[in-house]
Amino acid sequence: MGGHANAGYHPLTTETVVQVVAPLNHFADVNQLEIKEIGDGNLNYVFHVVEPATGKSLIVKQALPYAKVVGESWPLTLDRARIESEALRRAAEYVPALVPKVHHTDERLACTVMEDLSDHVILRKGLIQGQVYPKLAEHIATFLAQTLFHTSDFFLSPLDKKEQVRAFINPELCKITEDLVFTDPFFNHETNDFPEALQSSVEALWNDLELKRETAKLKHAFLTRAEALVHGDLHTGSIFVTADSTKVIDPEFAYYGPIAFDIGQFFANLALNYLSHFHHSPDPQQRRTFQEYLLEVIEETWARFKEQFSQLWQTKGQDVYMQVAGVEDDFFERLLEDTIGFAGCEVIRRTIGLAHVADLDSISDEETQLRLKDKALTLGSVLIKQRRQLTRITHLSETIRGVAHA
Amino acid sequence: MGGHANAGYHPLTTETVVQVVAPLNHFADVNQLEIKEIGDGNLNYVFHVVEPATGKSLIVKQALPYAKVVGESWPLTLDRARIESEALRRAAEYVPALVPKVHHTDERLACTVMEDLSDHVILRKGLIQGQVYPKLAEHIATFLAQTLFHTSDFFLSPLDKKEQVRAFINPELCKITEDLVFTDPFFNHETNDFPEALQSSVEALWNDLELKRETAKLKHAFLTRAEALVHGDLHTGSIFVTADSTKVIDPEFAYYGPIAFDIGQFFANLALNYLSHFHHSPDPQQRRTFQEYLLEVIEETWARFKEQFSQLWQTKGQDVYMQVAGVEDDFFERLLEDTIGFAGCEVIRRTIGLAHVADLDSISDEETQLRLKDKALTLGSVLIKQRRQLTRITHLSETIRGVAHA
Instruction: Quickly list H helices, A151-283.
Output: 158-167, 171-180, 199-206, 209-224, 259-280
The answer to the question of residue B130 being in a domain is yes
Query: Using 50, 70 and 90 to split pLDDT, how confident is the model at B308?
Result: very high
Cβ contact A320–B187 (<8 Å): yes
Q: How many CA atoms lie within 13 A of B335 on its CB side?
A: 24
| Residue in A181, A224, A385 to test binding to B, most B beta-carbons within 10 Å | A224
Both B330 and B369 in one domain: the answer is: yes
Q: Please tell me the predicted confidence (pLDDT) of residue A74.
A: 81
Indicate if the pLDDT at residue B35 is higher than 80.
yes
- pLDDT tens, position by position, A95-111: 999 999 999 999 999 99
Query: Using 50, 70 and 90 to split pLDDT, how confident is the model at A3?
Result: very low
CA distance linking residue B125 with residue A253, whole number of Å:
50
Q: Please tell me the predicted confidence (pLDDT) of residue A390.
A: 98
Q: Please tell me the predicted confidence (pLDDT) of residue B4.
A: 55
Indicate if the pLDDT at residue A2 is higher than 70.
no
Q: Which domain holds residue A82?
A: 17-114
Both A31 and A136 in one domain: the answer is: no
CA distance linking residue A264 with residue B99, whole number of Å:
44
- pLDDT tens, position by position, A12-22: 999 999 999 99
Using CA of residue B283, residue B285, residue B289, residue B295, what is the dihedral sign?
A: positive
Q: Which residue, B296, B389, B404, is CA-closest to B340?
A: B389
What is the layout of strands, in order, in the sheet containing B34-37?
B34-37, B44-51, B56-63, B111-115, B102-106
Mean pLDDT of chain B: 96
Both A203 and A253 in one domain: the answer is: yes
Distance of CA B145 to the CA centre of its chain: 15
Both B126 and B57 in one domain: the answer is: no
- Using a CB-CB cut-off of 8 Å, the residues of chain A touching B320 are 183, 187
Q: Is B160 annotated as a binding residue?
A: no
Of A126-140, B59-73, B201-215, B234-248, minimum mean pLDDT range: B59-73
CATH no. for residue B243? Answer: 3.90.1200.10
Both A92 and A196 in one domain: the answer is: no
Query: Using 50, 70 and 90 to split pLDDT, how confident is the model at A5?
Result: low
Indicate if the pLDDT at residue A41 is higher than 90.
no
Residue of B nearest to A176 (CA): B158
- pLDDT tens, position by position, B164-179: 999 999 999 999 999 9
DSSP per-residue string spanning B305-340: HHHHHHHHHHHH--SGGGGSTTHHHHHHHHHHHHHH
Q: Left if phi > 0, otherwise alpha if psi is -120 to 50, otherwise beta: which for A173? A: alpha
The ipTM assigned to this model is 0.95
Residue of B nearest to A152 (CA): B224
Both A26 and A129 in one domain: the answer is: no
Instruction: Indicate the residue among B61, B81, B114 that finishes a domain.
Output: B114
Both B87 and B133 in one domain: the answer is: no
Q: Please tell me the predicted confidence (pLDDT) of residue A4.
A: 55
Q: How many CB pairs under 8 A join A and B?
A: 102
Indicate if the pLDDT at residue B404 is higher than 90.
yes
Instruction: Quickly list H helices, B39-122.
Output: 79-94
Q: Which residue, B12, B14, B88, is CA-closest to B48?
A: B14
Q: Please tell me the predicted confidence (pLDDT) of residue A388.
A: 98
Query: Using 50, 70 and 90 to split pLDDT, how confident is the model at A1?
Result: very low
Residues near B331 by beta carbon (within 8 Å), at least 6 away in sequence: none
The answer to the question of residue A6 being in a domain is no
The answer to the question of residue B239 being in a domain is yes
- Mutual angle of helices B393-405 and B366-385, in 10-degree steps: 150
- Using a CB-CB cut-off of 8 Å, the residues of chain B touching A183 are 319-321
Both A182 and A325 in one domain: the answer is: yes
Q: Please tell me the predicted confidence (pLDDT) of residue A66.
A: 85
pTM attached to this predicted model = 0.96
Indicate if the pLDDT at residue B70 is higher than 60.
no
- Using a CB-CB cut-off of 8 Å, the residues of chain A touching B169 are 162-163, 165-166
Calculate Rg over the CA atoms of chain A. 21
Of B40-49, B61-70, B180-189, B263-272, minimum mean pLDDT range: B61-70
Both B221 and B356 in one domain: the answer is: yes
Q: How far is CA B299 from CA B60, B98, B129, B393, B403, in A?
A: 36, 20, 21, 6, 17
Both A46 and A21 in one domain: the answer is: yes
**Residue A289 identity:** T
The answer to the question of residue B9 being in a domain is no
Residues near B251 by beta carbon (within 8 Å), at least 6 away in sequence: B83, B84, B87, B88, B91, B231, B232, B233, B238
The answer to the question of residue A195 being in a domain is yes
Both A398 and A249 in one domain: the answer is: yes
CA distance linking residue A135 with residue A117, whole number of Å:
17
CATH no. for residue B101? Answer: 3.30.200.20
Mean pLDDT of chain A: 96
- pLDDT tens, position by position, A214-270: 999 999 999 999 999 999 999 999 999 999 999 999 999 999 999 999 999 999 999
- pLDDT tens, position by position, A306-363: 999 999 999 999 999 999 999 999 999 999 999 999 999 999 999 999 999 999 999 9
The answer to the question of residue A283 being in a domain is yes
Indicate if the pLDDT at residue A40 is higher than 90.
no
Calculate Rg over the CA atoms of chain B. 21
Both B184 and B292 in one domain: the answer is: yes
Distance to chain B for A329, nearest Cα, Å: 10
Q: Please tell me the predicted confidence (pLDDT) of residue B340.
A: 99
Q: How many domains is chain A built from?
A: 2
Q: What is the mean pLDDT of residues B401-406?
A: 97
CA distance linking residue A43 with residue A111, whole number of Å:
12
Nearest to B158 among A174, A220, A330 (CB): A174
Q: Which residue, A44, A38, A42, is CA-closest to A61?
A: A44
Q: Quick check: A290 and A211 in contact, CB under 8 A?
A: no
Instruction: Indicate the residue among A114, A136, A151 that finishes a domain.
Output: A114
The answer to the question of residue B38 being in a domain is yes
Cβ contact B223–A153 (<8 Å): yes
The answer to the question of residue B401 being in a domain is yes
Q: Which residue, A115, A167, A124, is CA-closest to A272?
A: A124
Q: Please tell me the predicted confidence (pLDDT) of residue B5.
A: 60
Q: What percent of chain A has pLDDT over 70?
A: 98
Q: What is the largest CA-CA distance in chain A?
A: 63
Instruction: Indicate the residue among A50, A80, A114 that finishes a domain.
Output: A114
Of A72-86, A273-287, B187-201, B342-356, minimum mean pLDDT range: A72-86
